[in-house]
């Protein structure tokens, strides 16, 4: 979807400004689940006229268009994920890195709720320590 937005005239109502294209370029293929602040810091290096408001508004537009996911794994800041396919996340409790995990195993609600509740989607979060943080602990 991000590549489609980058092409002229493919999504009605999406203005392709240089700033928006820079944001799309940064997100395309990005697996780091960056926050709006991180996106602004990285994209503004080559786009000094870029404002944080532009980044935030563009991200909201992309979320509403279904081109990216807004994930709230960290209560202090939202993160954005260009991978809109169903998947879960592993979160390192030390460095806060977020990694994608394919959703290959369905998550089911308890049988006693299955008749009175219709599941539309699910998301599982695994919390632990990434390999880099485990290695740092072993060294120190």
| Residues 7 and 52 occupy one common structural domain | yes
The DSSP code for 126 is: E
| Residues 8 and 73 occupy one common structural domain | yes
Average pLDDT, the chain: 87
Question: Would you state the pLDDT for residue 53?
Answer: 96
Decide if pLDDT at 13 tops 70: no
State the total domains in the chain.
2
CATH number (domain holding residue 13): 1.10.10.10
At 96-137, the pLDDT tens digits run 899 999 888 777 888 899 889 988 878 888 999 999 999 998
At 35-92, the pLDDT tens digits run 999 999 999 999 999 999 999 999 998 998 888 999 887 777 889 999 988 889 999 9
Among residues 39, 59, 81, the one where a domain terminates is 81
Range of the domain at 117: 87-139
Among residues 64, 81, 98, the one where a domain terminates is 81
What are the Cα distances from residue 37, in Å, to 15, 19, 21, 56?
Answer: 22, 15, 17, 9
| Residues 8 and 69 occupy one common structural domain | yes
């Amino acid at each position: 979807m991000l590549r489609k937005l980058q092409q002229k005239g493919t999504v009605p109502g999406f203005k392709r400004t240089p700033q928006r294209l820079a944001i799309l370029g940064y997100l395309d293929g990005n697996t780091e689940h960056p926050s709006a602040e991180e996106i602004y810091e990285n994209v503004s290096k080559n786009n000094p006229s870029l404002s944080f408001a532009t980044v935030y508004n563009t991200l909201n537009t992309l979320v509403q268009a279904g081109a990216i996911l807004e994930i709230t794994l960290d209560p202090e800041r939202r993160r954005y994920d260009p991978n809109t396919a169903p998947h879960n996340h592993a979160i390192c409790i030390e460095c806060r890195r977020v990694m994608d995990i394919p959703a290959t195993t369905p998550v089911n609600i308890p049988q006693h709720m299955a008749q009175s509740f219709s599941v539309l989607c699910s998301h599982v979060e695994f919390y632990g320590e990434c390999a880099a943080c485990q290695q740092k602990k072993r060294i120190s």
